[in-house]
A and B are shown apart, each in its own frame.
Chain A
Amino acid sequence: MSKTPSFREQIERSGVSRRDFLRFCSYAAALIGLDAAGIPKVVQAFEKKPRPPAIWLHFQECTCCSESFIRSSHPIVADIILNQISLDYTQTLQAPAGEAAEKSKTDTMKNYYGKYVLLVEGAVPMKDDGVYCTIGGRSAIDILKEAAEGAALIIAWGSCASNGCIQAANPNPTKATPVHEILDKPVINVPGCPPIADVMSAVITHFLVFGRLPELDGQGRPKEFYSRRVHDTCYRRPYYDAGLFVESFDDEKARKGYCLYKMGCRGPVTYNACAVTKWNAGTSYPIQSGHGCLGCSENNFWDNGPFYRHLASFPGFGIETTADTIGTVVGVGALAGVAAHAITTNIRKRKLINKHIEESANNEKNKGEGE
C-alpha cells in the first residue's frame, strides 16, 4: 500500500495554484465558523493530513444529494468529494462496475478498518428483510451494517438518510428507515432535500480539520447549520413582525415581497441554513424567489401538507379540514348545547325554582311576623 497523498499534493497535481488553495482554505474556515486565526489550522489539515478514504452508499434516494454536492459554490469545494477525500466507492460516480466495484469497497473496508468515512445517501427499507433495495444481490440493511462496522465517521446525507423523506411518507410501503435508527453508532444527520452543498462540504471539512464530530443537536444535526430557523434568518422576517403578509401568490403584497407565512411557508418550523448560505453560489433560496419554504429538512415534511396552507389538514377528516374547522364546529356545538340546556332547565326545573321562590317568600313573611 503506497502512502496516501495529502489533499495539497493532490490539488497541486491537478494544477491549482497556491493562491487558490489558500483562498479555498479561508473559505472553508469561514464556513465552519472559524475566525482568521483558525485559517492556518485548515491549511495545515489539508496540507499534512492524509486524505481519508470514503465509501458513499446509495440506497432509496434520487441522487439529488450528490447532485447538490457537486455544485458546491467554490470551484475547489466541488473537488472535495473527488480529491480531498479519496472516494473509493460510489455507485453513481465511480469508473469500475460490477465485481471490480464491489472489490474496491471490500478492499477499503479491510485496509482502512476504523479509519474510513461512511457517507450514506438514501433511506433503508426494512420490510420483508429489505428486499425492496438490493445491490449486488445483497440487501441495503446488510450492506449498511457491514460498512458501518469499521467506519470512523458516519454521515447521513439528506432527508432520506436522516428522517426517511418521501419513502417514509405515509403509508411508508417499504418501511423506509433513517440510518441513525438502524445503527447504534453516532451518525451525523445532514437533512435537506437536498442538503445545501456548502453545508455538506463544511461538515466534511470540520471532520478533516478537527478530527472529530461537529457539535450535534438533539436530532443529530450539526449545530453550526441547523440550530436556527429559516424564519429567524429570513430577509422577509421584518414583514412578519409588521404583520404584512402575502394573501395570494398573484396579489400586490406578493409583488412587494411580504412575508409568505399565510401561504404556508414552513420557515417558522424549519431548521436550516438556507437563508444564510443560500443556494447556487449564494444566488437565492426558495423564499427569495417568492415561494414559501416546504420544510424539506424537517421530519415528516411530506405528511405535513397541504404545502400552501399554514395549518395541516386534520387527520381523518379530509384534506380541506383543519383543526380550526373542527374547533369551530365543536365550539358552535357547545354554544348550541348550552343554550338548549338553559331552555330545558327552565322548563324541567320550574317546580324546583318555584319551591325556592316560595321558600324565600316565607322567610320574608316570617321576618315580618317576628317584628
Chain B
Amino acid sequence: MAVKNAVYRRVYVWEFPVRLYHWVNAICVALLIVTGYLIGKPIAIEYGNEAYQQYWFGTVRFIHFVSAFIFFFNFLVRIYWGFVGNTYARWQNFIPWKKSQWHEIKEILKVDILQRDVGERISIGHNSLAGLVYFLTFLVFLFQAFTGFALYSSMSSSFFPQLFSWVVPFMGGDFAVRQWHHMFMWFFIVFAIIHVYLVFYHDYVEGRGTTSSMVGGWKFEREEDL
C-alpha cells in the first residue's frame, strides 16, 4: 500500500456561543460595510417624490446604527467567552506569547505564501497566525466602535454613546474621526476577501473540515495527533 491510512477523530472545536458570535458578527459587518459605504457616498436616484414622501437615506443610517450596536455587544460577549469558553476559544490563542506559537506562525506563512505542503501538525483551533490576525482585527473592531459611537454621540442624548464623546476632541474634530472611520471600512472589506479565501484554502490543503466547522462546530484530527 503506497499511502498510509490515517484514522481521524472528530473534535468539538467551536462551541455554540462562538459559532453564534461568528455569524452575527459576519452579518453585522456585511450590513455595516454596505450601509457605511452608502452613507459615505450616497447613490443618486432620480425621482419625482418630495422629501416628506421618502426616507431611504434615514433608513440606511438607521440600519447602520442598529447593526453597530449589535456588532459591539456581540463582540463584548465574545471577549467574555475568551475567558470562560473551551480551550480553543480562550484568549491565549490570540496572542502569541509562547515560542511554539511563533514557530507555527512561521510554518503557516510558509504554507500560505510559499505554498509549501503542510509539514507539521497545525493547531486544530485557530492556527497561531490566524489567532494573531484576529487579535489585530479585534483592535480594529474597538477602533471602529469608538470612532463610530463618537460620531453618533452628537446625534443622541442617550447614556451609552455619550461615553465615547471624548474621542472627538481627542482626534481633532468630527471630520478627522469620520475620515478614519471611513478608511478602516476598507480593512473589513480586504479582511473578508482574504479570510474567506484562506478558510477554503486550508480546508483544501488540510482536509480537516475547516469550512463546515463554523457551522457544526466539528473539526477532525488524526488519531495519533490527539
A residues whose Cβ falls under 8 Å from a Cβ of B: 218-219, 228-229, 232, 238-245, 247, 261-262, 266, 268-271, 295, 298-301, 304, 310-312, 323-324, 326-327, 330-331, 334-335, 338, 341-342, 344-345, 348-349, 351-353, 355-356, 358-359, 362-363, 366
Contacts and interface: CB of A to CB of B under 8 A. Distances in A.
Nearest to B178: A269
Contacts of B140: none
Interface in B119-171: 154-155, 165-166, 168-169
A326 B186 contact: yes
15 contacts: A241-B55, A242-B51, A242-B57, A243-B57, A244-B51, A271-B174, A304-B179, A310-B40, A311-B40, A334-B190, A345-B205, A348-B115, A349-B205, A359-B3, A362-B1
B124 to A, nearest CB: 18
A242 B176 contact: no
B100 interface: no
B40 A242 contact: no
B3 A355 contact: yes
Contacts of B4: 359
Contacts of A324: 40-41, 182, 186
A232 B44 CA distance: 22
Contacts of A356: 207
B12 interface: no
B197 A338 contact: yes
B3 A310 contact: no
Contact of A359 (B6, B56, B61, B172): B6
Contacts of A323: 179, 182-183, 186
Interface string B55-98: 11110110000000000000000000000000000000000000
Nearest to A358: B3
A245 B201 CA distance: 44
B174 A218 contact: no
B206 to A, nearest CB: 10
A274 to B, nearest CB: 15
User: Main SS of chain B's interface residues?
Assistant: helix
Nearest to A363: B5
Nearest to B50: A242
Interface string B199-223: 0010011010000000000000000
Contact of B42 (A261, A304, A351): A261
B189 A327 contact: yes
A207 to B, nearest CB: 23
Contacts of B204: 345, 349, 353
B172 A341 contact: no
A341 B186 contact: no
B57 A266 contact: no
A6 B3 CA distance: 104
Contact of B165 (A218, A262, A331, A338): A218
A358 B4 CA distance: 10
A128 B45 CA distance: 55
Nearest to A228: B154
A247 B174 contact: no
Nearest to B169: A218
Given A266-B175, A338-B197, 11 more contacts: A242-B53, A298-B173, A298-B175, A300-B173, A304-B176, A327-B186, A330-B186, A334-B193, A338-B193, A348-B115, A352-B117
A366 B5 CA distance: 10
Contacts of A310: 40-41
Contacts of A271: 154, 174
A266 to B, nearest CB: 7
B190 A330 contact: yes
A102 to B, nearest CB: 37
A331 B190 contact: yes
Contacts of B207: 356
Contacts of A242: 49, 51-58
Contacts of A366: 5
B204 to A, nearest CB: 7
